[in-house]
Each structure stands twice: as structure tokens, then as C-alpha cells.
Amino acid sequence: MKKGSEPTKPHDAYPLRTVASQTGLTPDIIRAWEKRYGVVAPVRGARGARLYTAADIAHLRLLARVVGAGRAIGDVAALPRTELEKLAVQTGQQASAPRTDFIGRVLERLERFDQVAVARLLGDALVGLGGRAFIYEVAVPLLQEVGDRWHQGKLSIAEEHLVSAMLRNLIAGLIQSRGGPGFPKLVLGTPAGEQHDLGLLLVALLATDAGLEVSFLGANLPAAEIVAAAQRSGATIVGLALVYSDNNSQAVHELTEIGRVLPTTVELWLGGPEAATVAARLKSFRGALVDTLPKVESELARVRTAPHYGREWRIYERDTSGNS
């Protein structure tokens, strides 16, 4: 409800959690936009909780769409509804276009080491687009461009580390705020010797969007700790990323141990550019290769909708020892 309007009616008073669910914005973002830009002015309920109107929800949805298209919230927060609606229509018309201009703005600020601006741009894009579109339209092309520029000597290692840290902090904070009791549980990490887990964070974001509860363990974990984390959390799935080819021999050893002790009620997913190579070197492999993001989405959809979720899964078993 805007300032100066009539008090919120009981049937038009939505709590913050409901507003977050209906707009796709996190409660933290909604509160930040209230405080910094005054985009909505909720009333307080009897116990001090924020209460919003249907008009507030509609206004926040428009802002989320416009910001997700690459506009800075500070530039559009004060626009009237008619202007926001025009921008939202333009956003829909241009939704399939590459977001090269946005990526360019991020890289421009990255080169100036403007950490605050990079974090704001990425955060606004994630809020406006939602997790899936953010991954495909922002995170993946941004990381590819950063990698290309680094190989060409146009970006320093420090700049590459900075944008990786920004993405890591942004996504890690989001996945920690989602999920809960009753959701399928997914443990994500990398085995001992494997240091690269940024791509796994993108998987974590897809998983939270699909409704799973994610425990992100990070990189370089011994087999025993991965199995213990799965057992203690009651996980249905363990997902591991394999990126570094020089670590394949150790990865085979670690995965052999994981496969030996991991309960058969827990699925094992392998992803990353070295997943197929490592799986082929295992004497036996009970699990699934999910080495592309579309494959990840397909498996997430299956697990999320499986009527017998939680029962024993055997995606496939393969014996590469030469025995029939």
C-alpha cells in the first residue's frame, strides 16, 4: 500500500512470505527495495508484521520483470505504473535476444573493480529473471566471456576471481534461504582433489528452483565425508562435479569408495566435463551422467514429480570389467 492511502483491508493484507512467493523476489530484496527506494509502503499488522496489498504485489512484479531485463532498480523505482508497463512489454518482446549489453556493463564495472556495482547488477538480474533464466542468460554467458577474455590476456586473474566470488556469494545466499522439511534433498560437492565447484552452484540454483532442498558442501571432500553428509541429511541424491582432468585417477579412487558404501536408496549423479571419462574408468557405476544443464533439469523434474520419491533408485548399473 502506498503512503497516504486508506488502511489495508483484512482481505487485502498479504504477509511478506506470500508476496515473495507471488513475485519471485526474496524477502531480503523486497525489504531492501522498500528501504532504499520506497517502491511499496506496507502497513504493520497487529504483531508488527509487514502487510501488503494486491496492488503492491502487482507493482513488485512489474519491477522484477523490468529489472530482470537489465535495468537498474535505482533507475526505474520512481517510474509510474504506465511507464513500467511499457518497459515490461518491451522486455517480453526482447526476451529471446542475447543480453550482450548487460554482460558488457558487468564487465565494464568489473574492469574498474567496482565490486558494489557488479554485485548490484547481478543481484537485480537474478531477482528479475528468476534462477533458471539467470543461469542461461546471464551466468553462463558471463562466465564464458570472462574465461575467453582471461585466455586472451584481456582480464586479470584477480578480475576473474572477483566475478566468480560475486556469483558464488549471490547464489549461495539464495539457496540457503530455500527448501525445507518435506522437500527432496540433494547433496552437492566435489571429491578430494577437485577444486572447481562454481558450475555446481548453478546446479544448486536449478535444484532450488525445482523445489529441492540443497546442501552445498563445496570442493575437495574425502569420500567418507560425502557419504556421511548424505546419510546425516537424509539425502535422496548426491551430485558430484568432475572438472580437472589431472585429478581423474584420484576421482576414480574416491568414487569407487563412495559407490561401495553409499546406500542404494541414494542416487549418484556425476557432472562436469570429466564425468564421462571418470565413469568409464570405474569397474562399476550405479548412477547417472548429468554433464549438461539440460540433463540436470531433466533429472530434477523426474525426481521432483516421482510418485515413489524416497524409495530405492537404480538409474542404471554398468560393469566395465569385461564380465558379462
pLDDT tens digit sequence for 213-263: 899 999 999 999 999 999 999 999 999 999 999 999 999 999 999 999 999
Domain over 180-319 is classified CATH 3.40.50.300: no
Q: What is the percentage of the chain residues whose pLDDT exceeds 70?
A: 84
The CA distance from 266 to 85, in Å, is 47
Scanning the structure block, which residue is given the C-alpha cell 546425516?
232
Question: Who contacts 264 (Cβ-Cβ below 8 Å, separation ≥6)?
Answer: 286, 312, 313, 314
List where CATH 3.40.50.280 sits in the chain: 180-319
Range with the poorest average pLDDT among 101-110, 120-129, 269-278, 305-314: 305-314
Scanning the structure block, which residue is given the C-alpha cell 532442498?
213
Q: How confident is the model at residue 180 (pLDDT cuts 50, 70, 90)?
A: low
List where CATH 1.10.1660.10 sits in the chain: 10-93
Classify 92 as helix, strand or coil. helix
Global pTM value: 0.66
Tell me if 72 sits within 8 A of 125, measured CB to CB: no
What kind of fold does domain 100-174 have according to CATH? 1.10.1240
The grid coordinates listed for 296 are 540436470
Classify 285 as helix, strand or coil. strand
Task: Note the pLDDT of residue 100.
Answer: 67
Task: Note the pLDDT of residue 313.
Answer: 37
List where CATH 1.10.1240.10 sits in the chain: 100-174
Domain 10-93 sits in CATH at 1.10.1660.10
**Nearest to 244, CA basis, from 272, 216, 269, 217:** 272
Residue-averaged pLDDT of the chain? 81
